[in-house]
A and B are shown apart, each in its own frame.
Chain A
Amino acid sequence: EAQVTQNPRYLITVTGKKLTVTCSQNMNHEYMSWYRQDPGLGLRQIYYSMNVEVTDKGDVPEGYKVSRKEKRNFPLILESPSPNQTSLYFCASSSTGSNPGELFFGEGSRLTVL
């Protein structure tokens, strides 16, 4: 079954404690992306990757890091989380090229930073 898998789904942490949210897709997609969703602000792109070892900033990259060492994985790293990073996070992937395919989303990771 084609899917995007995120872990953990729920996490409560404290300010400053480094954490990683993993994302994996099994569709051999080149494109992967991270979004955060906040009430009233909608979905905002954090980082995206067009392929292995290629990453670019989205609209709200501050406080986040990513890496793309393998095609299937695109982890999101919060080096020193702060309360304003409390949010619902989504990972997504798609094919690219002259006719990019549909964007597939993971189930989301709800993060609370105390």
Chain B
Amino acid sequence: KQEVTQIPAALSVPEGENLVLNCSFTDSAIYNLQWFRQDPGKGLTSLLLIQSSQREQTSGRLNASLDKSSGRSTLYIAASQPGDSATYLCAVRQWNRDDKIIFGKGTRLHILP
């Protein structure tokens, strides 16, 4: 059964620092991996989607990488800002008959002004 883990559960860093969020998964048979941002009480906003054949995707200050063989993905945030404070979730879409999408529990990020 696919398990998705995000460590740490919470992280506080000073404004301006570069940071890396981690996501690991146990079954490498996936279609893709997607990173989301969620503000308190709000919906999920898609940040980056990496297909299984890709190694990384970039959008502005965000860069996501995927290493399917080791079951890992990272989300790199450059020059962090207080507005980046939110919970970040990763989700893997399984490549099998079920086509399930499994979420990690997220990393709660707080950027200190």
Where the two chains meet, the residues of A that have a C-beta atom closer than 8 Å to any C-beta of B are: 31, 33, 35, 40-43, 45, 48, 50, 56, 58, 88, 90, 92, 96, 99-108, 110
B101, A102: Cβ atoms closer than 8 Å: no
Q: Is the interface of A mostly helix, strand, loop or mixed?
A: strand
Where the two chains meet, the residues of B that have a C-beta atom closer than 8 Å to any C-beta of A are: 31-32, 34, 36, 41-46, 49, 51, 89, 91, 93, 98-106
Chain A residues, CB < 8 A from B101: 33, 45, 48, 103
A43, B51: Cβ atoms closer than 8 Å: no
Beyond A42-B103, A42-B106, A50-B99, whether A102 also contacts B43 by CB under 8 A is no
Chain A residues, CB < 8 A from B43: 90, 105-108
4 closest residue pairs by CB, A with B: A42-B105, A102-B49, A43-B103, A105-B44
Q: Which of B34, B51, B98, B104 contacts A103 (CB 8 A)?
A: B34
A31–chain B nearest beta-carbon distance, Å: 7
- In angstroms, Cα B62 to Cα A2, docked, is 23
A50–chain B nearest beta-carbon distance, Å: 6
A66–chain B nearest beta-carbon distance, Å: 15
For A50, the closest partner residue in chain B by CB is B99
B102–chain A nearest beta-carbon distance, Å: 8
- In angstroms, Cα B46 to Cα A58, docked, is 21
A104, B46: Cβ atoms closer than 8 Å: yes
A56, B32: Cβ atoms closer than 8 Å: no
